[in-house]
């Protein structure tokens, strides 16, 4: 029976082969280098966009609970030396034990990928991946919402008009604005500040204001949010795939996929932080390479559920419907002052 470390190499080779059935995947190869033979754990030889790529995967089946379980800089240096000696297109270090912060920094600088094996029901994977994820808790500030409707031919100004009196298809337009505000917060990694979203109509839209027939040219909502970012150590697993320690994403093999983040406590868990270390203000898309699952989670609360929403999207200028925005102030991405 193969030794434990060799079993880990076998499962890594199996996962890689599932990801690219057309690639040649070889395990346990000895390759002649400039100073003698070098041991290669997993060698992948395939094509990307018609260009041949050869990838060396070094496997370390270390126990993360031991004192020296995490991968340190000397192992990164050794892999970099092998990479330069053998001239591969890419070298990856695969372990489920994790990496020290200096080792991650060194690997990133050298262009060495850091991955882990995910195979939830495979006994050859002895150690589960434990890593830090980031999530945010966001609340809409009470009484901060201000809804505006531009209606040039509005009803007579005598009497009281409530924002719920502006309707389209018999549904208050405020419900659509509430929904858009929730989408805005969900798709932009913001946690604080005052925000205004404006929506222009392609052409004047026939609406009702109380019992009056009117035409609307624009509507907007302004609101405030408060919240923060939190970091938490959790167990990460999947039925079959690879974990990217640098990007904190998961690459699944083709076919039905199942991912689990265990012991995540949205309500009270996690350590408060200003912002995730690799998150850049204005960044929206963090999924990398095929099927990527982000380790950023959100809990967005305190705005009324929007169950009945008027069908307004087709009437709005397309650029105003973009969920992600690039003009958000940088300070909105940082946790609110407590």
Lowest mean pLDDT of 47-61, 72-86, 172-186, name the range: 47-61
**Sorting pLDDT into bands at 50, 70 and 90, what band is 86?**
very high
- Name beta bridge partners: 336: none
% of residues, the chain, pLDDT over 90:
61
User: What is the token pair recorded at 232?
Assistant: 């938490």
Question: Do 308 and 165 contact (CB within 8 A), yes or no?
Answer: no
**Sorting pLDDT into bands at 50, 70 and 90, what band is 80?**
very high
**257 contact partners, CB below 8 Å, separation of at least 6:** 238, 239, 240, 241, 291
- The pLDDT of residue 156 is 77
Could you report the per-residue pLDDT of 174-220, keeping only the tens digit for each? Answer: 999 999 999 999 889 899 999 999 999 999 999 999 989 999 999 99
User: What is the token pair recorded at 197?
Assistant: 């979203």
**pLDDT for 274 beyond 80:** yes
**pLDDT for 102 beyond 90:** yes
| Count of CA atoms in the C-beta half-sphere (13 A) of 9 | 21
Structure letter (DSSP) for residue 188: S
Strands 146-150 and 166-168 turn out to be unpaired
Among residues 338, 65, 121, the alpha carbon closest in space to that of 238 is found at 121
Q: What pTM was estimated for this model as a whole?
A: 0.75
**pLDDT for 104 beyond 90:** yes
- The pLDDT of residue 129 is 95
Which of 4-18, 110-124, 133-147 shows the highest mean pLDDT?
Answer: 110-124
Quick check: helix, strand or coil at residue 56?
strand
Domain coordinates in residue numbering, the chain: 4-127, 137-228+299-333
**Sorting pLDDT into bands at 50, 70 and 90, what band is 307?**
low
The DSSP-derived string for 288-335 is: -SSSB--SEEEEEESS----S----GGGB-GGGG-SS-S---GGGGSP
Among residues 232, 163, 204, the alpha carbon closest in space to that of 316 is found at 204
Which sign, positive or negative, has the C-alpha torsion 239, 291, 323, 207?
negative
**pLDDT for 323 beyond 90:** no
CATH number of the domain located at residue range(s) 4-127 in this protein: 3.40.1350.10
**In angstroms, rounded to a whole number, what is the distance separating the alpha carbons of residues 6 and 116?**
15
**pLDDT for 329 beyond 60:** yes
Q: Span 253-260, mean pLDDT?
A: 88
Kindly tell me the burial class for residue 138, based on how many C-beta atoms sit within 10 Å of its own C-beta (0-12, 13-18, 19 or more). Answer: buried
Helix axes 73-86, 101-110, angle to 10 degrees: 20
**pLDDT for 282 beyond 80:** no
**Sorting pLDDT into bands at 50, 70 and 90, what band is 65?**
confident
Backbone angles phi, psi at 314, to 5 degrees: -65, -15
Which sign, positive or negative, has the C-alpha torsion 129, 130, 132, 135?
positive
- The pLDDT of residue 27 is 93
Could you report the per-residue pLDDT of 227-243, keeping only the tens digit for each? Answer: 999 999 999 999 999 99
Burial 184-211 (b: 16+ CB within 10 A, else e): bbeebbbbbbebebebebeebbebbbee
- The pLDDT of residue 289 is 31
Q: Span 149-156, mean pLDDT?
A: 89
Lowest mean pLDDT of 98-107, 293-302, 327-336, name the range: 293-302
- The pLDDT of residue 257 is 84
The residue to which tokens 């204001």 are assigned: 209
Neighbours of 155 (CB within 10 A): 16
Lowest mean pLDDT of 31-35, 88-92, 115-119, name the range: 31-35
Q: Span 4-33, mean pLDDT?
A: 90
């Amino acid at each position: 029976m193969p030794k434990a470390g060799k079993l880990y190499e076998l499962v890594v080779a199996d996962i890689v082969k599932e990801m690219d059935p057309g690639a040649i995947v070889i395990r346990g190869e000895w390759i002649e280098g400039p100073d003698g033979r070098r041991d290669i754990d997993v060698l992948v030889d395939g094509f990307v966009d018609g260009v041949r790529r050869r990838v060396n995967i070094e496997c370390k089946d270390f126990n993360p609970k031991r004192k020296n379980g995490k991968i340190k800089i000397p192992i990164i240096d050794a892999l970099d030396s092998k990479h330069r000696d053998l001239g591969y297109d890419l070298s990856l270090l695969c372990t489920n034990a994790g990496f020290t912060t200096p080792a991650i920094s060194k690997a990133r600088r050298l262009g060495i990928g850091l991955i882990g094996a995910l195979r939830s029901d495979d006994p050859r994977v002895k150690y589960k991946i434990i890593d830090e994820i980031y999530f945010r808790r966001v609340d809409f500030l009470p009484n901060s919402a201000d809804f505006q409707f531009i209606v040039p031919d509005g009803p007579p100004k005598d009497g009281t008009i409530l924002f719920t009196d502006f309707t389209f298809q018999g549904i208050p337009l405020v419900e659509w604005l509430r929904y858009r505000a929730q989408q805005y917060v969900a798709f932009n990694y913001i946690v604080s500040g005052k925000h205004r979203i404006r929506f222009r109509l392609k052409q004047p839209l026939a609406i009702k204001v109380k019992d009056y027939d009117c035409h609307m040219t624009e509507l907007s909502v302004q609101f405030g949010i408060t919240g923060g970012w939190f970091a938490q150590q959790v167990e990460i697993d999947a039925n079959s795939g690879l974990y990217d320690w640098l990007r904190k994403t998961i690459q699944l093999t083709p076919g039905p996929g199942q991912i689990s983040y265990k012991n995540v406590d949205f309500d009270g868990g996690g350590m408060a932080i200003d912002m995730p270390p690799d998150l850049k203000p204005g960044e929206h898309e963090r999924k990398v390479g095929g099927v990527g699952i982000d380790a950023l989670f959100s809990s967005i609360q305190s705005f009324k559920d929007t169950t009945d929403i008027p069908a307004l999207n087709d009437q709005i200028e397309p650029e105003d419907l973009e969920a992600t925005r690039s003009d958000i102030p940088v300070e909105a991405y940082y946790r609110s002052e407590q």
